[in-house]
């Protein structure tokens, strides 16, 4: 049999509701909406960690962060970790990652040195836009050397400390000071040409990889940085939106009273709309390049023999709970992200409302490629769902975890337990924003006990003892 190609379109920090097909009538994502119409859209898909590095290695290895021992940022992924590209190696796949991978901390290393392969044949790593001397900066310099001072999103504070400690001087000007790297104030028109953005780099290089593919099947991961803040995006995508017409979150009265009156202050109405303006525009830019990538796949005659996956590593607070970014305690705006899978020969227009986890993606791809799932992997294949069998599998909860806490998402509730025993419980049927903690209320004690049991049974099911070599 000819095994299918696998194309993974992977964004950074994209909430589940930041797609038109997921009920957002303000965002412009025609190509991703069309992909969902052609494939299967998973409406309750959750990541296993609320920040980049642990979430990404968990997804690609189909192991929970606690099993990997990687529950927070800054932990390098061991090079012998079994991930999707390694699982595909013996089956003849050519394996590429273009753009963000984030298996290594990026603030304290020399990006001109070779990156560990992690099972890939082809790597063009660029974890941040224009911050380091990496594949993206080399690509941009070859096209417009005079615009190198316009492509950086800003140096992270940790990078600045490392460079100063070692006496490293960069040869380009970076945007703002270290705090500017975490600028959530609103949209920032890109100072470089539209075709020099990180998304343009990922899109163009992914298309080139697809065009060069020959007879062997391929795995290609297109690692977009967008819509991660700061929201730097070409003006042409900002012009798609009228910021004044964008909606803002609905806050409980006690939270709403904490918001400032000054129009330019964080969490004011104007600032919340501005944040959405930049965030949505970055997603529309990604959507544009998704359309170009899929058109190239079609033009090469490979569209009908390629599994296409679109997902993200975690969401974004986007002003809800008066917060920006991601992290603890991983409510839906952070842990619930898009998942669209379009596989050859599967029914079009499917939608699955049951719970799915990011650890389920790799087992799904392996089953669709007729490759056995390694026993160390902890996810469950979604292939039956893609075939139209809605009863193929039913998870009773999704787990998101980090150092010191674990969160369980059931169809109705989010349960959170901390290392010191403190518990929280939110009823998302009556409180979708998870503002009211019900853990202390007497009437919710039965549900609290049920969630504890769900978590304990999940932890038992996650165990993967080392294999025995004989009976004793």
Count Cβ atoms below 10 Å from residue 432 Cβ, excluding itself: 13
| Spans in the chain with pLDDT lower than 70 | 178-179, 390-392
What does the buried/exposed string (b/e) look like for 120-147 if buried means 16 or more CB atoms within 10 Å of the residue's CB?
bebbbbbbbbbbbebbbbebbbeeeeee
Is 350 in contact with 40 (CB distance < 8 Å)?
yes
Is 255 in contact with 322 (CB distance < 8 Å)?
yes
Q: How far does Cα 45 stand from its chain's mean position? A: 11
196 vs 69: CA distance, rounded Å = 37
180 vs 145: CA distance, rounded Å = 24
C-alpha distances (whole Å) from 111 to each of 79, 85, 104, 124, 125 are 17, 22, 11, 11, 9
pTM of structure:
0.97
260 vs 268: CA distance, rounded Å = 6
**What pLDDT does residue 390 have?**
64
C-alpha distances (whole Å) from 218 to each of 110, 182, 186, 304 are 29, 36, 38, 14
H-run or E-run covering 277: helix 269-299
Over residues 417-438, the pLDDT tens digits come to 999 999 999 999 999 999 999 9
In the chain, % helix, strand, coil (3-state, to 5) comes to 35, 15, 50
Over residues 351-383, the pLDDT tens digits come to 999 999 999 999 999 999 999 999 999 999 999
363 vs 84: CA distance, rounded Å = 9
Dig out the tokens for 401 from the structure. 């975890």
Dig out the tokens for 195 from the structure. 């075709």
**What pLDDT does residue 178 have?**
67
93 vs 76: CA distance, rounded Å = 25
**What pLDDT does residue 186 have?**
94
Over residues 218-267, the pLDDT tens digits come to 999 999 999 999 999 999 999 999 999 999 999 999 999 999 989 889 99
Q: What is the largest CA-CA distance in the chain?
A: 71
The dihedral formed by the CA atoms of 187, 36, 201 and 218, expressed in degrees to the nearest 10: 160
**What pLDDT does residue 179 have?**
67
């Amino acid at each position: 049999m000819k095994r299918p190609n696998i194309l993974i379109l992977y964004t950074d920090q994209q909430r589940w509701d930041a797609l038109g097909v997921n009920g957002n009538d303000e965002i412009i994502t025609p190509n991703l909406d069309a992909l969902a119409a052609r494939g299967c859209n998973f409406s309750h898909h959750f990541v296993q960690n609320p920040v980049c590095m642990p979430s990404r290695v968990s997804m690609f290895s189909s192991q929970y962060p606690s099993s990997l021992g990687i529950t927070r940022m800054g932990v390098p992924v061991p090079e012998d970790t079994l991930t999707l590209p390694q699982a595909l190696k013996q089956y003849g796949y050519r394996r590429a990652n273009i753009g963000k991978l984030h298996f290594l901390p990026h603030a304290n290393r020399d990006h001109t040195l070779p990156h560990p392969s992690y099972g890939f044949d082809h790597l063009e790593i660029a974890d941040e836009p224009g911050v380091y001397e990496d594949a993206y900066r080399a690509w941009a310099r070859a096209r417009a050397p005079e615009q190198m001072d316009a492509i950086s999103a800003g140096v992270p504070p940790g990078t600045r400390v490392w460079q100063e400690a070692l006496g490293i001087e960069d040869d380009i000007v970076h945007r703002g000071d270290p705090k500017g790297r975490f600028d959530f104030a609103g949209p920032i028109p890109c100072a470089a040409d539209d075709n020099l953005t990180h998304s343009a780099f990922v899109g163009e290089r992914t298309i080139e990889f697809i065009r060069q593919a020959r007879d062997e099947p391929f795995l290609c991961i297109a690692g977009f940085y967008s819509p991660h803040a700061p929201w730097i995006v070409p003006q042409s995508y900002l012009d798609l939106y009228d910021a004044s017409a964008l909606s803002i979150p609905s806050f409980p009265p006690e939270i709403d009273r904490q918001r400032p009156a000054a129009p330019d202050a964080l969490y004011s109405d104007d600032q919340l709309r501005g944040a959405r303006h930049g965030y949505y525009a970055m997603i529309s830019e990604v959507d544009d390049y998704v359309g170009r990538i899929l058109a190239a796949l079609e033009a090469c005659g490979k569209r009908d023999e390629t599994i296409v996956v679109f997902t993200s590593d975690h969401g974004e607070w986007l002003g809800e709970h008066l917060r920006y970014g991601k992290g603890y305690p991983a409510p839906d705006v952070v842990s619930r992200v898009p998942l669209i899978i379009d596989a050859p020969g599967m029914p079009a227009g499917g939608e699955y409302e049951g719970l799915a986890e990011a650890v389920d993606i790799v087992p799904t791809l392996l089953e669709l490629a007729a490759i056995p799932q390694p026993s160390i992997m902890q996810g469950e294949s979604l292939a039956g769902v893609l075939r139209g069998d809605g009863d193929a599998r039913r998870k009773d909860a999704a787990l998101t975890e980090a150092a010191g806490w674990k969160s369980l998402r059931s169809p109705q509730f989010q349960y959170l337990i901390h290392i010191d025993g403190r518990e929280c419980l939110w009823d998302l049927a009556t409180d979708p924003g998870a503002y009211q903690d019900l853990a202390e209320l007497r009437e919710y004690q039965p549900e609290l006990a049920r969630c504890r049991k769900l978590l304990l049974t999940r932890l038992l099911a996650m165990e993967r003892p080392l294999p025995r070599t004989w009976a004793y």
